[in-house]
Amino acid sequence: MKKLIYASLLLTALTGCEKFLDKSDPTATKFSEFFNTEEDLRRVVYSSMYDVYTNHTVLQRLPYMEDGKSDDAYSRTENHHHQRIANGNFNSNTAAFLYHYELHMKHLGRLNVFIANADIPYVEDEAVREKYRGVLEGIRAWHYFELVARWGSVPFYLEPADLESALQPSRPKEDILNELFPLAEAVANKLPPDEYGSDAYMFNRYSMKAMIMRYALYFERYELAARLAKEIMDSNKYQLHPVYGDLFSYKADKTNKEFILEMDMQSHNNSATQSFQHLAPQYRTGNGQSFVVPLKALIDSYWTLQGDPIDQSQLHTKQEYELNPKLNRDPRLAASIFIPGDIFVNEPINIYDPNNPMYYENARASRSGFWYKKFVDVTDAFKTGGNMHFPFIRYAEVLLTYAEAKIMLNQVDALTKTNINDIRRRGGLDMTAADVTLTKYAGYSQQQWIALIRNERRIELAGEGRRYDDIIRWKIAETVLNQPAMGHSRMLNGQMTTLKVEDRAFRPNNYLWPFHENSLKVEPGLRQNDGY
């Protein structure tokens, strides 16, 4: 068994979808013969991103699919892994947990091998070697942040695994984080400050800091999150794009200065993207698959044009807002989501007409009656694919992170309010009422600021894969995922009726994922998380 473990670790360290070790010389047997040029280094970086983060066809990992795990959305296909996590129908034999854990561990094994041997390839400029080494170290940190966020205490290796280290127990979560955060920041500080042109998917100094910032917020290290956000802001390298909706279409997906870390076309060798097929409604050509669709809970979370919750508006009742989502709402709703009554590729959306292609009971329609508009550009309606760029992190998240971190520290300063105002103003709110420097906000308690920033984050980043992490770190999943997933509401026989999509459940132990039973058998150092 020990030999099997070691052989498995070594094998997975040297495999990947890019097959970057394939060389023209079939007789090569030494590591240095596979890994000896600058181009080899670049291909290692490319494959390390592509296999896990930038593969445009793997729906289990695509950023815009991730909200299917949360109360914001419904993922209709079980084998994408999001549906069962959202509805709680899982255990330690569920395939999703084996898939994700093995994906991370396999690539960590590879990364450790190549980082340890980064001095082997010949390069003319040592700065190139250090850039690629730093990017690989950044990807390794990203893997570990995700592993700790999902499983807590996990194996932690920064060197190629040998037989002895492979048998060591998992490291405690806090021990890993205490080592990982300063290590990751040191890596970021060594990286070049600017993008790499055709390799924009690689970490640079500030995109790496943005990734660290995200996990600092997740793990409640608020001082660190605020400091990193401020460093990114002070770099003056990024800015909010003037028109919110254009970010998620071909109008601005490649030209904006808001995407900090992105999945661009070069990251997957210019292969056609499929976000239109994945997200769009099924219509006359049958192209849309509606793989993940928004739920009523997300629609209702869009506040009014004046920046107030719909149940606190002085203009209309909550029921009026629920029955007519276009009524006096934050313009980001219309920019982000298709609702019944909208026109889609010259087709009116009527989810209750069986003759309409968007009829809610159709196999590839939306069971909720809503669809994401983000990343669905009608230019792709009659094509087999597109060339969309997708953000992993954009500048709006930096502004929101600074604001949330300062609010959690109970330090609501002027910059916190400026950031919120900048987000709201760009979103199109009526700033004569939504400006948080107005008198009505002067007496806000910390809890009121928390409610505001959490909702602002929810609607600003809707459909971009952040909601599940947020409900986990805020410890509200026990509330929001123990309610049925609901869809569109209408008046029927004088009563408001709402489509029910599915029942859901979330148990207190679900804040951490289980290790799959296969992983426990192969890795004797693992300990199952409580409750599984």
**Tokens standing for residue 213:** 């910032």
Whether the pLDDT of residue 23 is over 60: the answer is no
pLDDT (0 to 100) of residue 90:
97
φ and ψ of 304, to 5 deg: -80, 170
C-beta of residue 141 within 8 angstroms of C-beta of residue 183: yes
Residue 490 to residue 499: CA distance in whole angstroms = 9
Give backbone dihedrals phi and psi of 257, rounded to 5 degrees, phi first.
Answer: -110, 20
Which range is least confidently modeled, 92-106, 175-189, 341-355, 409-423?
341-355
Whether residue 107 contacts residue 101, with contact meaning beta carbons closer than 8 Å, is answered with no
Q: What is the mean pLDDT of residues 193-208?
A: 89
Task: Please give the Cα distance from 460 to 444 (Å, whole number).
Answer: 21
Could you give the 3-state DSSP secondary structure of residue 403?
Answer: helix
Q: Is the pLDDT of residue 111 over 60?
A: yes
pLDDT computed for residue 4 by the predictor: 39
pLDDT for 357: 86
| Tokens, residue 238 | 């990024």
With b meaning 16 or more CB within 10 Å and e meaning fewer, what string describes 69-101? bbbbbbbbeeebbbbbbbbeebebebebbbebb
CA distance linking residue 395 with residue 402, whole number of Å: 11
Token pair for residue 303?
A: 């506040």
Q: How much is the pLDDT for 6? A: 38
pLDDT tens track for 258-281: 999 999 999 999 999 999 999 998
Domains and their CATH numbers in the chain: 36-190+511-522 (1.25.40.390), 274-385 (no CATH)
Q: CB within 8 A of 425, min separation 6: which ones?
A: 431
Q: Is residue 346 pLDDT above 80, yes or no? A: yes
Contact 367, 74 (CB under 8 A): yes
Angstrom distance (rounded) from CA 333 to CA 245: 10
* pLDDT over 70, % of the chain: 94
Mean pLDDT of all residues belonging to the chain: 93
Lowest mean pLDDT among 22-31, 141-150, 208-217, 502-511: 22-31
Q: How many whole angstroms from its chain centre is CA 190?
A: 25
Residue 163, pLDDT score: 76
* pTM reported for the whole predicted model: 0.94
Question: Tell me, what's the pLDDT at 30?
Answer: 65
pLDDT above 50 (res 144): yes
pLDDT, residue 199, reads 82
Distance CA 201, CA 248 (A): 17
| 386-410 tens-digit pLDDT | 999 999 999 999 999 999 999 999 9
Q: Give the 3-state DSSP-derived string for 312-377, with helices as H, strands as E and coil as C.
A: CCCCCCHHHHHHCCCCCECCHHHHHEECCCCEECCEECCCCCCCCCCCCCCCCCCCCCCEECCCCC
Six-digit token pair at 447?
A: 């809890």
Q: Could you tell me the pLDDT band of residue 15, with boundaries at 50, 70 and 90?
A: very low
**In the chain, what percentage of residues exceed pLDDT 90?**
87
Q: Any bridge partners for residue 171, and if so which?
A: 154
Question: What's the Rg (C-alpha) of the chain?
Answer: 24
Please give the Cα distance from 88 to 353 (Å, whole number): 32
Q: Is the pLDDT of residue 333 over 60?
A: yes
197 pLDDT tier (thresholds 50, 70, 90): confident
Q: Which residue stretches of 376-496 are H helix?
A: 395-408, 414-427, 431-434, 446-460, 467-473, 477-480
Mean pLDDT of 403-430: 98
- In this predicted structure, which of 9-23, 35-49, 394-408, 482-496 has the lowest mean pLDDT? 9-23
DSSP character at residue 390: E
CA distance 178 to 137: 17
51-106 pLDDT, tens digit each: 999 999 999 999 999 999 999 999 999 999 999 999 999 999 999 999 999 999 99
**Residue 11 scores a pLDDT above 50:** no
3-state secondary structure 188-236: HHHCCCCCCHHHCCCCCHHHHHHHHHHHHHHCCCHHHHHHHHHHHHHCC
pLDDT tens figures, 281-309: 887 766 899 999 999 999 999 999 999 99
Structure confidence at residue 240 (pLDDT): 98
Tens digits of residue pLDDT in 471-488: 999 999 999 999 999 999
